Chain A
Amino acid sequence: MNEDASDRVIEMRGVTTRFGSNLVHDGIDLDVGRGQILCLVGGSGSGKTTLLREIVGLLAPERGTVRLFGHPVLDPDTRVQRDVRRRFGMLFQQGALFSALNVFDNIAFPLRELRLVDENVIHDLVLIKLAMVELEPRHAPLMPAELSGGMIKRVALARALSLEPELLVLDEPTAGLDPDLADNFVQLIGALQRQLGFTVAMVTHDLDTLAGLATRVAVLAERRIIANCSPADVLDVDHPFVRSFFCSEHARAAMRATRRT
């Protein structure tokens, strides 16, 4: 790799996490370059979501550093922290929409907190984000409780995108969606990534999501990243988890398809 430091969006060095006596991560190093779509896979309980929470600074690792855009995500200077946090968007597994606010106000929330642009601009920006996630203006006054699972994900994606982030962090983006909707959502994220050019780091169980989006796959097993390579190459990794995860005929076909595109 000949990228210089400024091209790395995520830079993890020696990240060690421990919950009580349970060692979850043992010295994880991970780099994600600009424009990459990194998919983090691993067995249940291997600490994928924990790693994702450490990337966005919701959890402090016991040892090691996490840097986003070259700045420590948990910088002691709160201004640096805030600026870093404004440069990425996070899509939570359940959407985490503010249930007291309607769709419009949910998407407008980060924009209003920025205190930079007036309501007229915010209105147009929110409707652009709604259109980006293929929702219509008539959905704007709905409350989160009135939305279907697929719509919640879309609104949450629109909210994550509202500050035009350079990095999008996705936690199980297609969990809880039926295959058809999941497929749509994956295509939507892919299309938006091509249009807006952000970097993506995600955790998923779903092979179709992985095959449809990822440009890199990082495999988390035995408390370490045992592989960080292209989706096509991951099939050649000789490890029990990789074999069982990618073993089915369907999985192999899906993964091989990525080699062609």
Chain B
Amino acid sequence: MLRSVAEFATRAAATVAAAITQEVADGRPRVALSGDWTLTALPAPVAVLQARLRECALLEPSWDLSAITRLDSAGAVILWQSWGRRWPAKLAANDEQRVILARAAAVPPRQAIRPPASALDALVALGSLALAGLRNAREFVTLIGQLLLDLVYLCGHPRDIPLKEFSAMLFKSGAQALPVTALVGFLIGVVLSYLSSLQLKMFGADIFIVNLLGISVIRELGPVIVAVLVAGRSGSSMTAQIGVMRVTEEIDALATMGISRTVRLVLPKVAALACAMPLLVVWCAAAGIVGGMVSANLEMDLSYGYFISMLPKAVPASNLWIGIGKGFFFGLLIALIACHFGLKVRPNTESLSALTTASVVTAITVVIIVDAVFAVLTRGIGMPGL
């Protein structure tokens, strides 16, 4: 305790800059150090000081540390490194300084951490990418299988059906998404109608705006826009929610209570999104049609009554069913992908952010791919005049 008190007296005083004095005494070089050799008191740039010390060390002088007022591990490391990681032949230092220097001396030298790059690295990276993809696919299929087994189980045990979670999810991802999907759908309808009307007017084909708008919005744009919005809105929140539950061990807590995480967490999300998405698609397509109708009325004086009466003739009802079907599958896929990535989160922030990104990007990509498959499979259905 006494020693510390003495040291505090010096600490309380203003810091003294570290200084090096080089001299020749009795025909032998001698280096005396003075001042505060502590991390915060070292004069910047430290590299200059280090170079100076190394220069001095080349002369193999006797070192005198007795004038150093304060020495901490940073000062000790800088000294030790400039001595070439060995004790100098002649050193005047007190016991306390020797203890601090000994701490620096005990550190193993820094080793090259990274092995040199080899020509095989690219191949290894490609291979591990492929393996990661395969692993992802297998885990995804396992998740789907588990959900099917859960469904079978719930058929036998209807009391275990997580109805509360389902309805909460339906509200969060469905009802609360109504304003944004309506707004986006409406604006897309306005823009699409305005741009096409400019072209159609050139050919005098104004009335075909109904066909164009009806088919594209109901069959194609509605489902895809809603899917992108929902993937960004609900998909990311599902991944983040399950991911944080992994980080905080809440999922493990569920497991110890004997509650299946797929039944309680994944299934309600998947079911809710598969129900909410078709409804959102209809809602968004309706908003798009209204937007297009308003725009056509302003731009081409097409009356609302005509537009509405033409719509059923121009757009066969099967298009609506295709749009709803797409919505169902997209919702299923987005929720499955979101939960799959959420369950893969490891307990650190980096993994959480990387997997949330991966979840949204994968969901949107998969939705577009599945949309293309749909387009091929339904190419003979719902086109007027076919």
* A contact residues vs B (CB 8 Å cutoff): 6-7, 34-35, 86-87, 98-100, 111, 114, 116-121, 123-125, 127-129, 131-132, 137, 143-145, 163-164, 166, 194-197
Shortest CB distance B352–A (Å)? 9
Is the pair A116, B77 in contact by a Cβ cutoff of 8 Å? no
Residues of B within 8 A of A6 (CB): 12
Chain B, interface size: which category? Answer: 35 or more
Cβ–Cβ contact B39 & A164, under 8 A: yes
Of chain A, the residue at the smallest CB distance from B110 is A123
Interface centre among B3, B8, B42, B78 (most CB of A within 10 A): B8
Instruction: Decide: A34 near B110, CB < 8 A? Known: A120-B81, A131-B103, A194-B4.
Output: no
Chain A residues lying within 8 Å of B1, measured Cβ to Cβ, are 35, 194
Tell me the nearest residue of chain B to A99, going by C-beta: B348
* B9: min CB distance to chain A, Å: 9
**Contact across chains for B46 and A87 when beta carbons are under 8 A apart:** no
A35 to B11, CA, bound (A): 11
24 pairs of residues in contact across A and B, judged by CB atoms under 8 Å: A7-B8, A7-B12, A35-B4, A35-B8, A99-B348, A100-B350, A114-B39, A116-B42, A117-B46, A117-B74, A119-B110, A121-B46, A123-B107, A124-B110, A125-B74, A128-B77, A128-B107, A131-B107, A163-B40, A164-B39, A164-B74, A195-B99, A196-B72, A197-B3
Q: Are B348 and A145 in contact (CB under 8 A)?
A: yes
Kindly state the separation between the CA atoms of A39 and B40 in the bound complex, as whole angstroms: 27
Q: Report the minimum CB–CB distance from B59 to chain A (whole Å).
A: 22
1/0 per residue, CB under 8 A from A, across B92-116: the answer is 0000000100011011101000000
How long is the Cα–Cα vector from A119 to B108 in the complex, in angstroms?
15
Q: Using a CB–CB distance below 8 Å, which chain B residues touch chain A?
A: 1, 3-5, 7-8, 11-12, 38-40, 42, 44-47, 50, 72-74, 76-78, 80-81, 99, 103-104, 106-108, 110, 346-350
Q: Which of A34, A114, A121, A145 contacts B77 (CB 8 A)?
A: A121
Query: Known: A131-B103, A145-B347. Contact between A125 and B73, CB under 8 A?
Result: yes
- Assess whether B110 is in contact with A120, with CB atoms less than 8 Å apart: yes
**A99-B354 Cα distance, complex, nearest whole Å:** 13
- How many Å lie between the Cα of A128 and that of B7 in the bound state? 21
Most buried by A among B39, B44, B72, B103: B39
A124 touching B347, Cβ below 8 Å: no
Residues of B within 8 A of A163 (CB): 39-40
User: CA of A116 to CA of B349 in the docked complex: distance in angstroms?
Assistant: 28
